[in-house]
């Protein structure tokens, strides 16, 4: 039972990086390869249908942390208090940027929210590097440890590359490059690698700190029957919005 919930937790965390990773990457790349407003619109439109289905993976990670590792939930989040607050704010302004950017006209309104998307994406990606380093070292080191900051830069660069690959797959004409689905899977794996290494190394620790069996049983009975529905919903998103189904006549809401 502990192993099943470890697998769920690891899958959700790794999946978050592989999926939401390219949204963050596209967000960072907006000012670099977006060009004018129209160009940025096309880049955002490429990732827009995936964002809502991707970012919930982290919401689910936090839920699993609470449900299956209640003893660790406070330790992890409280141990990283300033970082978690900063990352939450980054996430919030990134999301607000996406929802608000096309809700009003005016070049300044749109550039402002596009900048928020970029700032938020950069902040989240960099914060993740620092957070993963802290998790790997048992939350003892300072959040400003050079190795942590370096990992922040590395994660940011890898996610930017993942975002660029995604654009090459989904919207080659807007991105100026063409990438295959295989290349996207590869960059996704690279994006997930740091998180996978940390969660892999934490296996014994997590198993030891799992919730007691009766709790995990209740959780399993309630959650696992819905797992196929959740997988199907995610697959449905990818089937619906994959490229190459002819020109799309609708505009992106984001």
How far apart are CB 67 and another protein at their closest, in Å? 3
Closest CA to 187 of 21, 13, 34: 21
- The whole-angstrom separation of Cα 174 and Cα 15 is 26
How far apart are CB 227 and another protein at their closest, in Å? 9
182 vs 249 by CB, closer to another protein: 249
| Side-chain-facing half-sphere of 240: CA atoms under 13 Å | 11
**Cα distance from N-terminal residue to C-terminal residue, the chain:** 41
- Alpha carbon of residue 54 to chain centroid: 6
- The whole-angstrom separation of Cα 133 and Cα 143 is 9
Q: φ, ψ for residue 202 (rounded to 5)? A: -90, 5
84 vs 149 by CB, closer to another protein: 84
Centre a 10 Å sphere on the Cβ of residue 132 and count the other Cβ atoms it contains: 22
63 vs 172 by CB, closer to another protein: 63
How far apart are CB 195 and another protein at their closest, in Å? 17
Query: Contact residues for another protein (CB under 8 A)?
Result: 48-53, 55-57, 59-60, 62-68, 70-71, 73-78, 81-82, 84-85, 88-89, 91-93, 95-96, 99-100, 102-105, 211-212, 214-215, 218-219, 222-223, 226, 229-230, 233-234, 236-237, 240-241, 245, 248-253
Q: φ, ψ for residue 119 (rounded to 5)? A: -60, -45
203 vs 253 by CB, closer to another protein: 253
How far apart are CB 99 and another protein at their closest, in Å? 4
119 vs 190 by CB, closer to another protein: 119
How far apart are CB 239 and another protein at their closest, in Å? 10
């Amino acid at each position: 039972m502990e192993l099943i919930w470890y697998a769920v937790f690891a899958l959700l965390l790794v999946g978050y990086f592989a999926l939401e990773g390219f949204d963050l990457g596209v967000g960072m790349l907006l000012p670099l390869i977006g060009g004018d407003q129209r160009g940025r619109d096309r880049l955002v439109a490429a990732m827009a249908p995936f964002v809502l289905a991707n970012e919930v993976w982290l919401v689910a990670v936090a839920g699993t942390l609470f449900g299956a590792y209640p003893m660790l939930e406070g330790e992890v989040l409280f141990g990283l208090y300033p970082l978690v607050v900063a990352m939450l704010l980054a996430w919030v302004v990134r999301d607000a940027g996406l929802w608000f950017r096309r809700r009003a006209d005016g070049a300044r309104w749109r550039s402002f929210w596009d900048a928020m998307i970029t700032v938020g994406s950069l902040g989240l990606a960099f914060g993740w590097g620092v957070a993963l380093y802290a998790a790997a070292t048992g939350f003892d080191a300072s959040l400003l440890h050079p190795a942590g900051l370096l990992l922040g830069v590395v994660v940011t660069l890898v996610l930017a590359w993942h975002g660029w690959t995604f654009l090459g797959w989904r919207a080659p004409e807007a991105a100026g490059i063409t990438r295959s689905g295989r290349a996207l899977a590869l960059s996704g794996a690279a994006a997930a690698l740091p998180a996978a290494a940390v969660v892999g190394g934490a296996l014994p620790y997590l198993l030891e700190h799992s919730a007691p069996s009766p709790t995990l049983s209740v959780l399993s009975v309630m959650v696992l029957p819905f797992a196929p529905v959740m997988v199907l919903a995610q697959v449905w998103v990818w089937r619906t919005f994959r490229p190459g189904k002819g020109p799309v006549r609708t505009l992106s809401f984001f």
